[in-house]
Copies of this chain bind each other. A is one copy, B any other.
Amino acid sequence: MNNFVFYSPTEFVFGKATEMQVGALARKHGAQKVMIVYGGGSVVRSGLLDRVKQSLQEAGVGFCEMGGVQPNPVDTKVYEGIDFCRTQQADMMLAVGGGSVIDTAKAIAAGVVYDGDFWDFYIGKAKVTKALKVGVVLTIPAAGSEGSGNTVITKVDTLQKLSLRVPEVLRPVFAVMNPELTYTLPPFQTACGIADMMVHIMERYFTNTEDVEIADRVCEGTLTAIIKEAYRVKQDPNNYGARANIMWCGTIAHNGTCGVGCEEDWASHFLEHEVSAIYNVTHGAGLTVITPAWMTFMASHNPRKIAQFANRVFGVPETEDLEEMALTGISRLKHFFRYMGLPVTFKELGIENPDIDRLVDSLHRNKGELVGNYVKLTREYSKEIYQLAL
């Protein structure tokens, strides 16, 4: 087990009707005026935005608002938000939405107190040392951004999709999580969120670090719970228990609970970021195409943890042929994704002829000559994995 720091200071307030506590939470964390950030009209139509405003008013916290954040959030919206926040003199960001909204709020929170271009942070030209506090009302369990210090933004001009990780500054101070708010998510979006949280766990679980029994067991247990509840929510979208379990799994998948002491991988995410940046597909759906392809490559190059995953998560019997075990597990994983309505090939994702050379070039330009850790991917290996996803 490697040395690690576990530090998850976010206050997670979880359960029915918890959005009515948002005003008290914002006040407790020192807000005078929050800037509400949201995406499309669903939070307006559902009445959630009104309930949030009511809660803020009751707590005596002022607010301003900016909607219109799109999936795969872009730099132009961040610039707009920084200007708006400065004009309004808001002192806390309140993200009401899923990962795209939260990531945009984090970018604004850092950018608004920085004199230069916020994109400097994402390209490594400057370091985030301070930011406005960020609070969250989560509506999509997926990205885990409510409990992480990560943010991913795409630059419109160049289609660069870059991530930034500054947990000590950008981690939300509180996150309100009412599973009922997720009843109305379209099945495809629910499924994409489930895929995203599963791969967050798998990026940590597929490691060469020895003596990580507790990390393995927590990862396997969380994956097992997600899969069981995914079947339930597919049958019954208004099942509170299923929604609640999935929502909490999405958080612990990415707040440090899973994978303590493990060298993490993240190659599947980086391979996918290129796909969603260029083809603007949903991140979760991109992952269900890329991750099984990455695992298939690993089945022949480093099967140990893929085989253990097959055995402990998908019940594949133990045999001496780890590659065979791994391939059977990958087959079951793909079957599960397909059952959830998710693509497992580029073609199913709607990309008939992906420009693999462009994807490989962009990946290694953004992430260096070697990508990931479980097996370090050369350009040749990356190309092979993209081809396995055809």
Contact = CB atoms under 8 A, between A and B. Distances in A.
A1 interface: yes
A5 B11 contact: yes
B228 A213 contact: yes
A353 interface: no
A158 interface: no
Contacts of A241: 1, 210-211, 213
Given A7-B12, A14-B4, A248 B260 contact: yes
Interface stretch (A102-110, A218-226, A280-288, A328-336): A218-226
Contacts of A7: 9-12
A36 interface: no
Nearest to A260: B248
A226 to B, nearest CB: 8
Contacts of A252: 214, 218, 257
A257 B228 CA distance: 20
A141 B13 CA distance: 28
The listed residue with most B CB atoms (<10 A of its CB), out of A6, A7, A10, A241, is A6
Contacts of A242: 211
A208 interface: no
A133 to B, nearest CB: 14
A299 interface: no
Interface residues of A, number: 43
A27 B12 CA distance: 27
Number of copies: 2
Contacts of A249: 214
B257 A14 contact: no
A14 to B, nearest CB: 5
A347 interface: no
A3 B19 CA distance: 12
A220 B221 CA distance: 8
A261 B217 CA distance: 20
Contacts of A260: 14, 248
Contacts of A216: 225
A240 interface: yes
B261 A213 contact: no
Contact of A217 (B12, B210, B212, B222): B222
Given A218-B222, A221-B221, A241-B210, A18 B3 contact: yes
A367 interface: no
16 contacts: A1-B241, A2-B15, A3-B14, A3-B18, A5-B12, A5-B13, A9-B9, A210-B241, A211-B241, A213-B229, A214-B249, A218-B252, A220-B221, A244-B261, A248-B260, A252-B257
Interface of A: 1-16, 18, 210-214, 216-218, 220-222, 224-225, 228-229, 240-242, 244-245, 248-249, 252, 257, 260-261
Given A5-B14, A210-B241, A217-B221, 14 more contacts: A1-B241, A5-B11, A5-B13, A6-B12, A7-B9, A211-B240, A211-B245, A213-B228, A213-B241, A214-B222, A217-B222, A218-B252, A244-B261, A252-B257
